[in-house]
Structure 1
Amino acid sequence: MPGIPHADVTIDANIVRSLMATSPWPASEDPSFWARGFDNEIWCVGHRAVHLPRRHEAVGALRNEQRWLNEVTRSLPVQTPAVLFAGEPTAQYPYPWSVTHFVNGRTGFDSPLKVRAASAATLGAALRALHRAAPPDAPRNPLRGVALDRRSENLQTRLTAVDSQTAEIVMPHFDRGLTAQPFTDQPVWIHGDIHPGNLIYDNQELVGLVDFSDLACGDPAVDLGGALFSLPVVAHGSFWQSYGNEDEGLRLRALGWTALLAILHLQIEIAEHTVLACEALAWLARLTSPQV
């Protein structure tokens, strides 16, 4: 099962400080570590965040963010990590990097389901605003925003590592997504990695959407599946009403993506992300509900 990829650079406060010296904020506060993911480390410097690829494979995604993020997200009703400065490699650090707006608050991991449920309409409105037609030169992601049949073999492989009961829960929902009306419209912008850890809440409201490393264009069902994964079943109606799309094929594909994402998240063997595996277990339990 997947683990966090090995980093090919070492990032510390001294590196971040040296990079910030080349930015418009050279006399900023001391850097503090915030988070580490598959591709990037995030450091806080005052009221700003510094995004640094921790491996070469992440550079393309960061360049996509620098090129597209501000343009794509300007109309969203929630905050995003807007790029404030695009940094270039230095003698101390070999990759491009970014200074972004820091979205303050708590992630969905640290927010009760009732808080997430209360903000379901806001999430629906945010994704509706994001899912606008993308231009021909928009980036593609070979794993997100694609037809579900392109992920079927991978899911079957992953299911061999889980118990038969889990497979019996997941497959009917995935199969319904497979047989649903396919996406044939013009590709739209997608976030690509919607899950509770990328939703930011403050004062019991959804205030931010972060981590656009998978920003691309394609079928919006992947984002909608991530949203359903992040919400209790009782909030799905509010979410869909706000999102405003009555296409049954889209809804079935979204549920298929939810089942796939639950298995993907369940198998993440990263200490920092064990909470994501717990979210997956909780969602698998919710999949048995007749309300889904």
Structure 2
Amino acid sequence: MPRTFLISHSDLPEISAAIAEQFPDLPREYSVEGFGWDNLMVRVGTDHVARLPRRPEAISAIEFELAWLEQAAQSLTVPVPHIVGKGSPFSDYSVPWTINTWTAGIRGLSVPPEQRRSSAAELGRQLALLHRPAPRDAPEKPHRGGTLAQRTYLTQPQIERLPGQYSAVVPVWEQGLATRPYGGTPLWLHGDIHPGNYLLQDDHTLAGIIDFGDVCQGDPAFDLATAWVSFDAAGREDFFGAYFESCREETRLDQDLVPRAKGWAASAYVIAVLSSDLSTPDFVDMAQWTMGQLLHEP
């Protein structure tokens, strides 16, 4: 049975030795860059980063990136990471890991939400570029790109674990659940577009989009949930304005798109985060912010 956390900061010596052995042409300068919900990131020199799953559920995300990242992200015009190599097992770590190009920028979560507005319109345009018809064999992830009803099996148990002070967000999820399911062409989705997975310039304009481990096909409303996760009301106006100027006509005419996106925001970025023991403080802050935006939207 795999251990809960496959790798941690304390494993840096073993990670460094594995990178040096398997990628001898890269600089031998290593430092822990940080960790997200799924991966430990180790910086390699100035131009590369190793991404190593830190929990068993994250292993498939690396495989998805290896198989689909280049095809899914090819329409984007901002920088995205490129995979330059797949790592082999080392020590007692036997799961897939990768070396990626380093995408420079400030993590969106490091910038106060009110200051992210400068990135809103460009993020909306980039998602419109990304949301194009996906091939039939593109990954399907019902709990992300499927219908909200397909996420019920995850959300209901999470609601039961949700601390009482956050229960006010549950009706937002239920309102989304009552909307008409998406019936359009399955589109490419990032699958996890929140402020931890895009980067900003010093002036807080968009610098790049990262972490495509949940790339999949389906309902664009899932990606559009980031409007409440990322921005205040003014930023959301910029975001949706740019998105609807650039998106496909079929998407633009979907009158339930925005209500579904709010339901996704409540389920995936508030209920899921605040009911999980994997949540880091920055993710908890993000979820609390999102809840406030959903409940107090003008």
TM bracket, shorter-chain basis: 0.7 to 0.9
Structure 1 partner of 2:260:
253
Does 2:250 align with 1:243? no
Superposition pairs for residues 104-143 of structure 1, below 5 Å?
104-143=104-143
Could you tell me which amino acid in structure 2 is paired with residue 29 of structure 1? R
C-alpha displacement at 1:126, in angstroms? 1.3
Superposition pairs for residues 169-188 of structure 1, below 5 Å?
169-188=168-187
Structure 1 partner of 2:216:
216
Paired with 1:197 and 1:151, the residues of 2 have a C-alpha distance of 22
Q: CA RMSD in A?
A: 2.4
Give the TM-score normalised by the residue count of structure 2.
Answer: 0.85
Could you tell me which amino acid in structure 2 is paired with residue 128 of structure 1? A
SS in 1 for 2:22: coil
Tell whether the 8 Å contact from 2:134 to 2:186 is kept in structure 1 after alignment. yes
C-alpha displacement at 1:246, in angstroms? 4.7
Tell whether the 8 Å contact from 2:42 to 2:50 is kept in structure 1 after alignment. yes
Tell whether the 8 Å contact from 2:159 to 2:170 is kept in structure 1 after alignment. no
Does 2:274 align with 1:266? yes
C-alpha displacement at 1:89, in angstroms? 3.5
SS in 1 for 2:188: strand
C-alpha displacement at 1:111, in angstroms? 0.6
C-alpha displacement at 1:134, in angstroms? 1.1
Tell whether the 8 Å contact from 2:26 to 2:44 is kept in structure 1 after alignment. no
Structure 1 partner of 2:148:
148
How many residues in Structure 1 have an aligned counterpart in Structure 2?
284
State which drifts further: 7-16 or 234-243.
7-16
Paired with 1:280 and 1:58, the residues of 2 have a C-alpha distance of 20
Which structure 1 segments of 5+ residues have no match? none
Could you tell me which amino acid in structure 1 is paired with residue 178 of structure 2? T
Structure 2 partner of 1:190:
189
Change (3 A) 1:154 1:91: closer
C-alpha displacement at 1:7, in angstroms? 2.3
Could you tell me which amino acid in structure 2 is paired with residue 141 of structure 1? K
C-alpha deviations, 1:149-197, integer Å up to 9, x for none? 1223533333333455633x32332233222221112211112112221
Structure 1 partner of 2:25:
26
Paired with 2:114 and 2:157, the residues of 1 have a C-alpha distance of 34
Tell whether the 8 Å contact from 2:142 to 2:151 is kept in structure 1 after alignment. no
Change (3 A) 1:249 1:26: same
Could you tell me which amino acid in structure 2 is paired with residue 37 of structure 1? G
Structure 2 partner of 1:279:
286
Structure 1 partner of 2:36:
37
Change (3 A) 1:131 1:84: same
State which drifts further: 111-120 or 152-161.
152-161
Could you tell me which amino acid in structure 2 is paired with residue 66 of structure 1? L
Paired with 2:69 and 2:92, the residues of 1 have a C-alpha distance of 26
Tell whether the 8 Å contact from 1:77 to 1:125 is kept in structure 2 after alignment. no
SS in 2 for 1:264: helix
